[in-house]
Structure 1
Amino acid sequence: MSVATYVLDWHRRRRGPAAGAVTTERRTLYVLPTRAGVVFALLLLVMLLWALNYNASLGFALVFLLAAVAFDAMRQTHDNLLALTLQPPRVEPVFAGQPAALGFGLVNAAPRARYALELTAADGARAVCDVLAGGQRAELVLARPTTRRGRLPFGRVRLATRYPLGLFEAWTWCEFTGAGLVYPAPLGTAPLPGGGGTTPTGRGEAPGDEDFHGLRDYRRGDPATRIAWRRAAARSGLPPVKQFAAPRGDAELWLDWALLSPALDVEARLSQLTAWVLEAEAGGLRWGLRLPGMALAPAGGAAHRRAALEALALHATTERSDG
C-alpha cells in the first residue's frame, strides 16, 4: 500500500462521505512542501553552511529571514484553505457519451478573500477559482466523461491551494454521497411504431374544424366557405384557403420493449427506445413506455419525458456507473 493510499484511507475513517456541505477543519487539513519548497529548503541549508564556514553574520541574518518568510508562507497556505465550505455538486442528466458538468459551490464566510483554490476529481478533472470575502460563493465545474447509462457517483474530490508562494501545498479530501444520472445514448434507425401518428407538420395534429392552422392555395373541390376572400382580393392568382386542424389528444402511442428485434442486446434496445421517446415528445404525441416489469401510462410533457428517460437509464441496474 502506498503512502498516499494509506493517508486517504485514514482520512476516510476520520470523515466519511457527506450528504451535505463540508467545511474544512484544522484536523482534516494537510500541509507538505512542494518541489519548489524542497529546493528552497536545500538552498537555505547551503547558505547556512556557507555562513557557518565563513562566520558571516549577514549570511546568518539572510538565512533566518528567508526561513521566517517560508514559515509564514506555510501558515498562510494553511489558512487559505481553512473554514471554507464546499457544497455538494449539482449535475443535470446527460446522455451517454456526453460530458457531465458537476458544479461544486465554494463559500467563504471569513472576512478575507481566498486565492488560487484548486478542485481536482479522481479522474484528473480540475478547476481553479478565487473566492471573495464575506460569504461570497464561487462555482467550480468539473467535466466528467460518461461512457454508459446509469448513475454517475459524485465520488471523491481534492481541494488544495499553494497560495501565496508555492513553497507549500495544503489540501483536504471531500467525498459526497449521491449521484448524477446518465441516460442511454439515443441511437437506432427503427421508425416510430405505426409511423408515430405524426403529420407532415410534426405537431401531432390532424385535419379538422377546431383550430386555424394557416393558409394554402385553392384546390379544386374546396368549399367556398373556406376561401379567405379578403386575402384573395389583395392578390392575383389562386385565392388562399383557410386550413383548420384538430389536436390528436386521443391518439396514443406505445413505445414497447416487445416491439424491438430480439436480435438486439439490452443496451441497443434501450438506445432505440430513448430515440423513440425523444422523437415522440418532439412530435407532440401522447405516448407511453413499456419495459419488462414496468409501464408508464401515455402522457406528454417534460415531466413525462424525464420519467421515461430515468426509467431507461436505471433499467435492470442498481449499481451501474461511470465511477
Structure 2
Amino acid sequence: MWLVDQVGGRFQAWVDKVISSRRPKGHSILLNQKRIYIFPTASGWSFLFLCILLFFIATNYQNNLIHAVAYLLVALGVLTIHFTYLNLSGLRITALRGKNCFAGDSTYLSVLLESENNRNYETIQLNWKGQPEETVHLEKEQARGVELNLTTHKRGRLKPGPLKIETTYPFGLLRAWSWVELDLDIVVFPKPQKGPRPDLNSGDQDSYSGDKRAGDDFFGLEEYQPGQSTKHIAWKQFAQGRGLLVKRYVGQQSRQVWLNWESWPDLPMEPRLSVICYWAIQLEHEGIDFGLMLPNNRIQPSSGPDHLEKVLTVLAVFGGANGNTGHA
C-alpha cells in the first residue's frame, strides 16, 4: 500500500504539471470532458489488483463462481468511472468576491457553484493549494455560494492561483479533479504596527498636535508616548489607575493630519508602511481628516470608510507589491 501511494503521488504530480498549461481561465467556467481528469486512488489500485487476482484464481481453478465475482467487480469499476465523471461534469464555477484583509490574517474568497444538469452533486471538495478543503453537496438545478479560506503572508494585490475541484464519489475508487483559474483577487493591506506620531511639520496643511496652543480645543485622551510633553499628562486619570495618558488638543481652524512618508526616515520600507497603516486606521477611528504623502503619490485629506480603504490600498500596492500564497 505504501508503494502504491508513493508511485501514485509521483505520477499525479507529473500529470498536474503536464495539464497546468490547459487550465481554464475566466470569470465563470463550466466543467466538461475537456477539463475533467480521472485517475485511480490508492483504494482504486487495490480494487484493480483484487479483480486481477480473482480472475487468475478463477482461471487456475476453473471456478465459474469466482469468475462471476471478478466480472461483477470489473463492471462495478467501469460504472464507477461513469458516475465519478458525472459528479463534476456540468458544474459551473463563478467568481464572486473576496474580502480584503491585513497581511498575516486569514480571509475568504467566495465562488458560486451552479448545477446545470438535472442531477445532484455529492461530496465536492474545493480548495486553493495548501489551504483547508471545503466540502459541498449540491442539489439539482441549485446554486450555492461557497466561502473558501485563504491565509495571506504579505501585502499587495493577491490572486489566489488555481482552484482545485475534486471528488471521489461514489466509492472512493477513482478521483476526478479539475483546476480552474478564476478572475478573482483581493488587496492585502500592510499589517498595522504602532509607531511614533507623524512629523507634524511634514505636510503643507495644519495638523493637530499634543501641545496646547491658543484657541485649541480639548479633543480627548491618548496613551502617553515617549518624548511627548509631560505638562499635558492627565494626572487625575493616572491616579484612578487608568494608566499614563496625555490630553490632546485640536486646533479650531484645522483638524487635518498628513501621513508623510518622510516622517519616519529611520524605518525600513515595510515597517514604515505598517506604521502609516496604523495611524490611518487610528485617525479614521477618531474622526480626524488625514491625507497621504508617498513618493510619487498624494491623497488629499478626507475621512470615511471609502477614504480609508483608498489609503490602505495605496499602501498595499506601494512599490508594485503582490501578495503571496502557495500557488498550485
Amino acid at match of 1:158: K
Separation of aligned partners in 1, 2:130 and 2:75: 37
Are positions 1:153 and 2:147 aligned together?
Answer: no
Identical counterparts, % of pairs: 26
Q: Give a deviation string over 1:189-208, Cα, whole Å, max 9, x none.
A: 32355447871279xxxxxx
**2:171 matched residue in structure 1:** 165
Deviation at 1:311, TM superposition (A): 0.5
- Residues 131, 151 of structure 2: 8 Å contact kept: no
1:252 to 252, 256, 266: 256
The one-letter amino acid paired with 1:136 is A
> Equivalent residues in 2 for 1:208-287 (5 A)?
250-260=254-264, 262-287=265-290
After superposing on structure 2, the runs of 4+ consecutive aligned residues of structure 1 that deviate more than 3 Å are: 2-10, 12-16, 191-198, 246-250, 318-323
Aligned to 2:188: 182
Task: Give the Cα–Cα distance (whole angstroms) in 2 for the partners of residues 285 and 249 of structure 1.
Answer: 13
Q: From 22, 46, 49, give the equivalent of 1:42.
A: 49
Alignment RMSD: 2.5
Return the offset for 1:24: 0.3
C-alpha displacement at 1:159, in angstroms?
0.8
Pairwise CA distance, 1:14: 3.4
- Which residue number in structure 1 is paired with residue 15 of structure 2? 7
Distance 1:43 1:3 in 2: 21
SS at match of 1:200: strand
Where 2:87 maps in the other structure, the secondary structure is helix
Please say if 1:122 is aligned against 2:125. Answer: no
> Of the candidates 81, 84, 90, which is equivalent to residue 77 of structure 1?
84
With structure 2 as the length reference, what TM-score do the two structures score? 0.77
State the 1:19 CA deviation. Answer: 2.9
Question: Aligned partners of 2:177, 2:106: CA distance in 1, in Å?
Answer: 26
**Contact 1:154 1:177 survives alignment (8 Å):** no
Equivalents in 2 of 1:114, 1:55: separation in Å? Answer: 42
1:62 aligned partner: 69
TM-score, normalising length: structure 1: 0.78
Q: Distance in 1 between matches of 2:65 and 2:12?
A: 41
The letter for the 2-side match of 1:98 is D
Match of 1:100 in 2: 107
Alpha-carbon separation, structure 1, partners of 2:173 and 2:298: 60
Runs of at least 5 residues in structure 2 that lack an aligned partner in the other structure: 1-9, 201-207, 211-216, 223-249
Shift in alpha-carbon separation, 1:29–1:19, aligned structure 2, 3 A:
closer
Q: Secondary structure at the match of 1:199?
A: strand
- Aligned equivalent of 2:31: 24
**Unaligned residue ranges in structure 1 (runs of 5+):** 203-245
Q: Could you say what secondary structure the match of 1:267 adopts?
A: helix
**Other-structure match for 2:148:** 142
Q: Which of 192, 199, 221 is residue 219 of structure 2 equivalent to?
A: 199
Q: Secondary structure at the match of 1:270?
A: helix
Q: Quote the offset at 1:249 in angstroms.
A: 8.6
Amino acid at match of 1:132: E
SS at match of 1:62: helix
Deviations 1:17-38 (A, max 9, x none): x231111010121111111111
Change (3 A) 1:287 1:187: same
* Equivalent position SS for 2:26: coil
CA–CA distance in structure 2, aligned partners of residues 198 and 271 of structure 1: 28
